[in-house]
Amino acid sequence: MMATIHSVLVAVDETIEAAIDSGQLERLASAAMEREGLPPGELSVLITDDETVRGLNREYAGEDASTDVLAFSLTEGEEFASPDGVMRLGEVVISYPTALRQAAEAGRPVEDEIDHLLVHGVLHLLGYNHAESADEKRMRTREREILAASE
């Protein structure tokens, strides 16, 4: 079986660029999309600071607080047929400082935390959520499966 081609664009705030392996994040996001059986798709990823994430969270979710990851879907709402057959999934925005704090609290490398947040964000774009206990368990299980398969 031939792999589906996914396009993942990773943008990193220049102040933290040296700490991020963009190629690894591109491969992981593409693998997550592949494992979920997506047709050819595009995804944008932004690794940035707490202030940027807080501003986006305030503007789009009405919450004046920073968070670890935000997911902005381009597939929700009115159905739109892509003229080129490419699914434009959306954007995952990760706060590097928050990921750094969470990694330290969990006693694991920040790279592992960012990988987890990226997969979490991609799954949100694909309709997974964790509002209910059963949904959360399903989402967490899927995160672990994708991360384990990409090691």
- pLDDT at residue number 82: 61
Which segment of 7-11, 33-37, 129-133 scores lowest on mean pLDDT?
129-133
* Mean pLDDT, range 107-136, rounded to an integer: 93
pLDDT category of residue 79 using cuts at 50, 70 and 90: low
| CB-facing half-sphere around the CA of 119: CA atoms within 13 A | 25
- pLDDT at residue number 73: 87
Tokens representing 113? 């935390």
pLDDT of 88-106, one tens digit each?
A: 889 999 999 999 999 999 9
pLDDT category of residue 78 using cuts at 50, 70 and 90: low
- pLDDT at residue number 95: 97
Which distant-in-sequence residues (6+ apart) come within 8 Å of 88 by Cβ? Answer: 41, 42, 74, 75, 82
